[in-house]
Each structure stands twice: as C-alpha cells, then as structure tokens.
Amino acid sequence: MATKKVGTAGRFGARYGKKHRAKIAEVEKKQRSKHKCPYCSKFKVKRVSAGIWQCKSCKSKFTGKAYEV
C-alpha cells in the first residue's frame, strides 16, 4: 500500500479518510527525514522518540519538538 500518494500513511488503508492520511504522511515524512544539528550544523539528527533527538555526528542528545527539531 506504500505506492499510494499518501506515502507512509498508506498502511491505514481506506480508513480515516484522505485528508487525515495526507496529514499523517506529512508529519511522518518530517519526523523521519534528517534534521540539522544545532551544535555542529550537520544534517545528522534523527528522532529517538517524541521530542528527543540525537545527532549521529557529534553524539549530542537534545530535546526539540515532537515531530521535528
């Protein structure tokens, strides 16, 4: 189901409606993509869990927003 326009939200099938799935896909895309580290400014930051981010480059762990830094 990942071939659908909704991307990662395709796992929800036909449920919840198109609008909601599009919203989810948008948020998940953001949270999974690499983010810029505020310390070494490299795009090596990954989301550990809600609000917790870790830089793969300088190993710093810091708090941020739940779905993006």
Closest approach, Cβ 49 to Zn ion, in A, equals 18
Q: Which is nearer to Zn ion, 8 or 57 (CB)?
A: 57
Least CB distance from residue 59 to Zn ion, whole Å? 8
By beta-carbon proximity to Zn ion, the closer residue of 52 and 58 is 58
Q: Is residue 16 a contact partner of residue 10, using CB atoms and an 8 Å limit? A: no
Cα→Cα distances 44→30, 40, 60, 63, Å: 14, 9, 11, 15
H/E segment holding residue 1: none
Interface residues with Zn ion (CB under 5 A) are 37, 39-40, 55, 57-58
